[in-house]
A and B are shown apart, each in its own frame.
Chain A
């Protein structure tokens, strides 16, 4: 793991983001209704529309707009939101941390819950625990997020069963306790589905490791079951588990879009939905790039963690 490798991987991340930016810009440029109509809405008058279109420069050829935008992006000026007339960087600024908190909470819950469950299922292959965990895992993947979110709303936040607030956000700085109180349901929704994915993956990794020759060799050295699992099986199952979790970060970033919408959590997901509804180009492009960047970086981080866990994976 040396600097050369890191530099090359970071270059790859930048390349990925470039490809994403081109794709997003290309996609958002061929909008049937133009952004001006969308912004000012059904009751905007003809002159209003022309004024806004000119102001936003929507009629210039698209490649000019793209190159100019890329230039400004590089220099940190991510442009003004067309709809909320605030700098995009400001909008994304605090939204990013709120989403990061939510995604982080979900990721921690998942790692603490899903990985042990997966290991347990892998170990008890075919027996009670495995089937039970398996069923839960499959159910998790069969219910869309918004249904899970609605069920949680109905059962844990409806009047009379008021265990958690029905959405909303309180900044940690203002009141840390109520911040945690509000983050539970959205994080739980994300975790439920993510846990299902990861339990299944870790379970198959674990059962594959347990069937390997070196585990058999460890048993035949007379080592106790606990030592075999802890020192031999777990170490080898962790690396692929980390890879799986980092892949699911991508899923998580998708999931926050729906969960933030339902629970009124003012993060990147909500910002994206709002931008998509209003064809707010700069915000759409910026949020997509941020999410893609986070995902690409999480893959890089997981590679580094894997290298630490598995000596074979030494990057020249």
Chain B
């Protein structure tokens, strides 16, 4: 972790993530108001002493809704990415290890699925399963799987030819040991880096789904949905769109920067000459 301190983008990324983490863990506790609580008298007000980020169309406190929404939004990003990464890595490793025709069959399938843009793929699945956070998460996870599989496979292939793996095979170690103890631990680097960066993309996808009415549904406080609902009031109180927008940017930026820093630290060649 010492290298992270020296890595400027990493530092910025880490601080942003820390902020987001605080909102996720303690949001509901430090929120000044109940996110669903109406204050009809103070509808659509800009930032004030009582409401630091102003109020929305029902007079609900925007800061509280963002703090509560952090959990829904970030968990969506993490959950979707984790599921996609797990499935993708499984497929990628299987392809990488099995090799020969299994590998090329899987790769052909992945090429096919990768030809469909992520957002479109997600929209297809969500339209079929119906909106809602659960389905949206599953859709994003499925959309991530082909991409992750390809990265995992590349990582496995590069490690498989390393001498310490061949030494294990020469010793007559069982395939399970070779994959479990020798190959997998050394392929996690690139997978983790890709996963971190993909979380930011998952958050944005979730927000876009919310905007199209296919992601989280009212009364959820997911940030994407908050923006979608507030867009029609943006001229009367721009804060109800700006605040969640900035929140999404902070979270997405945090994961992005941190991911890039991780890539430099974990990458043996190390880009920082």
Report which A residues bind B (CB closer than 8 A): 12, 15-20, 23-24, 27-28, 30-32, 134, 138-139, 141-147, 150, 154, 158, 204, 207, 211, 250-251, 253-255, 257-258, 261, 272-273, 276-277, 279, 284, 288, 291-292, 295-296
Give Cα distance in the complex from A257 to B271, angstroms: 36
Q: What are 18 A-B contacts defined by CB distance under 8 Å?
A: A12-B111, A15-B112, A19-B111, A32-B128, A32-B130, A138-B256, A139-B249, A142-B252, A143-B252, A146-B207, A250-B117, A254-B117, A258-B119, A258-B208, A258-B212, A272-B123, A291-B120, A295-B117
B118 proximity list for chain A (CB < 8 A): 250-251, 254
Q: Is A255 a contact partner of B124 (Cβ separation < 8 A)?
A: no
Give Cα distance in the complex from A20 to B173, angstroms: 40
Partner of A292, one of B116, B123, B207, B238: B116
Q: Is A291 a contact partner of B116 (Cβ separation < 8 A)?
A: yes
CB of B108 within 8 A of chain A?
Answer: yes
- By the criterion of a CB under 8 Å from any partner CB, how many residues of chain B are at the interface? 44
Q: Is A255 a contact partner of B119 (Cβ separation < 8 A)?
A: yes
Which positions 127-151 of chain B face chain A at CB distance < 8 Å? 127-130
Give Cα distance in the complex from A86 to B127, angstroms: 22
Partner of A253, one of B120, B212, B224, B252: B120
Give Cα distance in the complex from A261 to B129, angstroms: 22
Partner of B253, one of A28, A139, A255: A139
Q: Is A141 a contact partner of B200 (Cβ separation < 8 A)?
A: yes
Partner of A257, one of B108, B114, B119, B241: B119
CB of B97 within 8 A of chain A?
Answer: no
Q: Is B234 a contact partner of A150 (Cβ separation < 8 A)?
A: yes
Q: Is B248 a contact partner of A147 (Cβ separation < 8 A)?
A: yes
A215 → B minimal CB distance (Å): 13
Majority DSSP secondary structure for residues of B touching A = helix
CB of B115 within 8 A of chain A?
Answer: yes
Partner of B200, one of A17, A31, A142, A291: A142
Q: Is B271 a contact partner of A142 (Cβ separation < 8 A)?
A: no
Give Cα distance in the complex from A139 to B238, angstroms: 20
Give Cα distance in the complex from A65 to B215, angstroms: 30
B125 proximity list for chain A (CB < 8 A): 27
Give Cα distance in the complex from A296 to B114, angstroms: 9
CB of B109 within 8 A of chain A?
Answer: yes
Kindly list the 9 A-B residue pairs having the minimum CB-CB distance in the complex, ordered from nearest: A19-B112, A254-B117, A254-B119, A142-B252, A142-B253, A292-B115, A142-B249, A276-B127, A146-B211
Q: Is A207 a contact partner of B271 (Cβ separation < 8 A)?
A: yes
Which residue in chain B gives the minimum CB-CB distance to A297? B115
Partner of A19, one of B108, B228, B245, B271: B108
A126 → B minimal CB distance (Å): 9
Given A19-B109, A154-B234, A27–B124 Cβ distance below 8 Å? yes
Given A139-B253, A144-B204, A144-B207, A257–B112 Cβ distance below 8 Å? no
Partner of B113, one of A19, A158, A207, A261: A19
